[in-house]
Amino acid sequence: MKLNIAVLPGDGIGPEVTAQAVKVLKAIAMDFNHIFTFNHALVGACAIDKTGNALPDETIAICKNADAVLFGAIGRTSFDLDPNAKIRPEQGLLGIRKELGLHTNIRPVIAYDDLLTKSSLKVKQIKDVNILIYRELTGGIYFGDHTLSEDGNTATDTCTYNRFEIERIAHAAFKAAQSRKNKITLVDKANVLESSRLWRRIVQEIAPQYPNVKLRYMYIDNAAMELIINPRQFDVILTENMFGDILSEEASVIVGSIGLLASTSIGDKYAMFEPIHGAYTKAANKGIANPIASILSAAMLLDHFGLDEEASRVREGVDKSLKLHITTPDLNTKYDNISTTKVGDFIEDFINHPDETNLNFTNIHLGQSTII
């Protein structure tokens, strides 16, 4: 298969982790005889530095000409500390979601057996957790009007949803539930918000089309608690933009590190793949950033094109790295010298030589050749 992939590494740890995902995709292309081409483009704070714009037109054009977009992370502390900044790195990410119409964001939350003890939660609570969060991505309070009064003392952000936007993601979430445990939880704040009541009404209307799927509702405040006390009760979570942002980051506690969570964002025409973590500026260029979320985003890219065997190979490589503690410091208690690049190299090696009988694991953490 020929794939033209736009690569937007962005800021902070974005470039380091994205480089590992690209490395992995190149290994897959080589092994499975695909032709993947990569076109890099600027987004976020680095784009502001060079062009004055967080999402230059050239970047949009590169993405629209691509079959898929691989996104790193955006953000920089100096902007976080300056609420008066008019141009902000986040405009790059929100802009690309809007420009490409990426309305449906899918964030899997899977508790790996090898990492159960890394979570701050109890092993018995998190074992076998497998949740798929469907987060609406181009509507809600993120994309409503944002206004500040002239005297600077009153601010407004509007949360708007319409039937079409809700139906679109609700159908996708119901279909996903059908291929899983047939359970869907709509998370909202319908006791307070009119927009949430619209979500409930519409999801309730749609539900009979999926008779095997058990639908239930949960308020966001309650869901925030239930996700920690009993995460196994969830199968598919369907929710609006901001609740999905918050719940997915909370869910990373179950998995042990936010550096593990990947995502797919789909529109009618385009698709983008990105880790859910941010730019983590203070970790940039230290080789300590976990590349697995980015590598798993690459696996989701392969899934998207039906390259199942290829995606499985990447996931096996990730599993193997976790099992052997070839992981960055956020997860590692065994070795203290495994860098972002070493994790990428290990997974690349695994892809090239998946037959583990050929691997010599003894010195693998030293970064020595893994192939006998």
Instruction: Using CB under 6 A, list all residues that contact ligand IPM.
Output: 75, 90, 93-94, 245, 276, 278
Residue 17 CB-density burial (10 A; 0-12 exposed, 13-18 middle, 19+ buried): buried
CB of 187 to ligand IPM, least distance (A): 15
Query: Residue 129: which of ligand IPM, Mg ion, none does it interact with, CB under 5 to 8 A by kind?
Result: none
Closest residue to bound Mg ion by CB = 245
Query: Residue 93: which of Mg ion, ligand IPM, none does it interact with, CB under 5 to 8 A by kind?
Result: ligand IPM
CB of 266 to ligand IPM, least distance (A): 14
**Of the two residues 206 and 246, which places its CB atom closer to ligand IPM in the complex?**
246
**Of the two residues 89 and 317, which places its CB atom closer to Mg ion in the complex?**
89
**Of the two residues 97 and 315, which places its CB atom closer to ligand IPM in the complex?**
97
**Of the two residues 263 and 332, which places its CB atom closer to ligand IPM in the complex?**
263
Region 175-234 residues binding Mg ion, contact defined as CB under 5 A: none
Q: Collect all residues with Cβ–Cβ distance below 8 Å to 6 and sequence separation of at least 6.
A: 39, 40, 41, 62, 63, 65, 66, 68, 69, 70
Candidate ranges 80-88, 227-235, 243-251, 356-364; the one touching Mg ion (CB under 5 A): 243-251
**Of the two residues 240 and 310, which places its CB atom closer to ligand IPM in the complex?**
240
Residue 307 Cα to chain centre, angstroms: 19
CB of 7 to ligand IPM, least distance (A): 17
**Of the two residues 11 and 245, which places its CB atom closer to Mg ion in the complex?**
245
Residues 40, 118: Cα–Cα separation, whole Å = 34
Query: Residue 90: which of ligand IPM, Mg ion, none does it interact with, CB under 5 to 8 A by kind?
Result: ligand IPM
**Of the two residues 16 and 245, which places its CB atom closer to Mg ion in the complex?**
245
Cα-based torsion angle of the residue sequence 219, 179, 97, 315 in order, rounded to the nearest 10 degrees: 110
Find residue 275's DSSP bridge partners: 262
CB of 226 to Mg ion, least distance (A): 20
Query: Residue 271: which of ligand IPM, Mg ion, none does it interact with, CB under 5 to 8 A by kind?
Result: none
**Of the two residues 107 and 189, which places its CB atom closer to ligand IPM in the complex?**
107
Query: Residue 121: which of ligand IPM, Mg ion, none does it interact with, CB under 5 to 8 A by kind?
Result: none
CB of 276 to Mg ion, least distance (A): 6
**Of the two residues 31 and 80, which places its CB atom closer to ligand IPM in the complex?**
80
CB of 117 to ligand IPM, least distance (A): 26
CB of 161 to ligand IPM, least distance (A): 16
Residue 352 CB-density burial (10 A; 0-12 exposed, 13-18 middle, 19+ buried): middle
CB of 242 to ligand IPM, least distance (A): 8
Question: How many residues touch Mg ion (CB under 5 A)?
Answer: 1
Residue 251 CB-density burial (10 A; 0-12 exposed, 13-18 middle, 19+ buried): buried
Query: Residue 319: which of Mg ion, ligand IPM, none does it interact with, CB under 5 to 8 A by kind?
Result: none
Question: Which listed residue (16, 136, 245, 348) binds Mg ion by CB under 5 A?
Answer: 245
Q: Given the rule CB under 5 A, which residues bind Mg ion?
A: 245
